[in-house]
Amino acid sequence: GYIPVELSHLSKLTHLTLYDGDIIVETYVLKRMLQNFTNLRQLTLQNVNMSNVELLTSFTNISSSLELLYLWDCGLQGKFPENVFRLPNLQQLILYKNYDVIGSMPTFNWSTPLRYLDLSFTQISVDLPYLSTTAKSLQSLGLSNCSFTGSSSSYPEMLTNLTQLLQLTSLDLSHNNFGGQIPLHYLNLHQFIYLGLSGNNFVGEIPEFSKTSNSSQSPLPNHLESLYLSDNLLSGPIPSWIYSLPLLSYLSFAFPHFLKSMKNLQTLQLSHNQIQGRIPKWLWNNIGTITFCTLENSVNLDNKCSASTLTGHTQMVKSSSLFSNP
């Protein structure tokens, strides 16, 4: 149902969280709430209906005390107000999956304490070089399926700016049609925990890294826990540094033998590959931590995987795959 306007009378409210696909937010009510909540520090609206909200007028008088604005999959439409980016205390801004929201980030005279920013699946224009010079406190940056300023030919150079974000540990650049060589050397990868580069047009081989932990040039990313490289145009051998990562638990890639040594792996995605042959027994015998495995749209896999083999594994998806007879 609709959020009652009486909620806006709680003028001393500092935190508000609403999760429900049936909740409808109207412009009038949201505007009154943001005007009256002068002490508001955190506003979380996830999967609520905000499709009819007039963004520019609703967020005009938002509290300068706001530290977190979380608008996840709310059906936002229209231009997102630039003044929100300029809030002096805003540390987390999440606009994930608001497909029809447009606008742009500030491109001049902007200083921000942002630590978490996710504009994935929006149409907000991102000037990545400028963002990298102003948002120095960023720890997590989600820009999957985003709109970037500049031509596609400038993408490799544009990504070099990310090395200025010395606190960045999580980066998602998936589904952006980036091309050329995979840009691992453009990043401070040694500090990363999460890296998503799936769904681009990267070509060639995955570069090697120094195995010397104190090397100043391309050190091994020992803190990396999640690495997503699927749905690209990569070729060549898989570098040894990938199976040397001690903390890696999520890998989205092809079907190599280095999986034997990955004792902490929980999720394995092998979809949309030209994988042939039998699923090796060591995959299930040696890796006891896998809880989800998907083999969708793979070809010529020998169906030697019985229910008893999968004891202890919660879910396996192999639809649309071409399994040969045992």
**Whole-number Cα distances in Å, 34 to 10, 91, 119:** 11, 18, 22
Quote the pLDDT of residue 239. Answer: 84
Domain that holds residue 88: 1-149
Answer yes or no: is 177 within a domain.
no
Quote the pLDDT of residue 150. Answer: 63
326 residues of the chain, pLDDT tens digit each = 999 999 999 999 999 999 987 999 999 999 999 999 999 999 999 999 999 999 999 999 999 999 999 999 999 999 999 999 999 999 999 999 999 999 999 988 999 999 999 999 999 999 998 999 999 999 999 999 998 886 554 677 778 888 899 999 999 999 998 888 888 877 878 889 999 999 998 888 888 876 654 444 456 788 999 999 888 888 887 788 887 888 888 877 645 555 666 777 777 776 665 555 556 666 666 556 666 666 665 544 554 444 444 445 445 555 444 444 44
Answer yes or no: is 178 within a domain.
no
Quote the pLDDT of residue 11. Answer: 95
The model carries a pTM of 0.80
Answer yes or no: is 112 within a domain.
yes
Answer yes or no: is 74 within a domain.
yes
Asked whether 37 and 67 are in contact (CB, 8 A), the reply is no
Kind and range of the H or E element at 42?
strand 42-46
Specify the CATH number for the domain of residue 60. Answer: 3.80.10.10
Quote the pLDDT of residue 308. Answer: 45
Answer yes or no: is 316 within a domain.
no
Answer yes or no: is 59 within a domain.
yes
Please tell me the total count of domains within the chain: 1
Answer yes or no: is 167 within a domain.
no
Of 147, 143, 146, residue with least CA distance to 162: 143
Quote the pLDDT of residue 320. Answer: 44
Quote the pLDDT of residue 295. Answer: 60
Answer yes or no: is 283 within a domain.
no
Asked whether 121 and 97 are in contact (CB, 8 A), the reply is yes
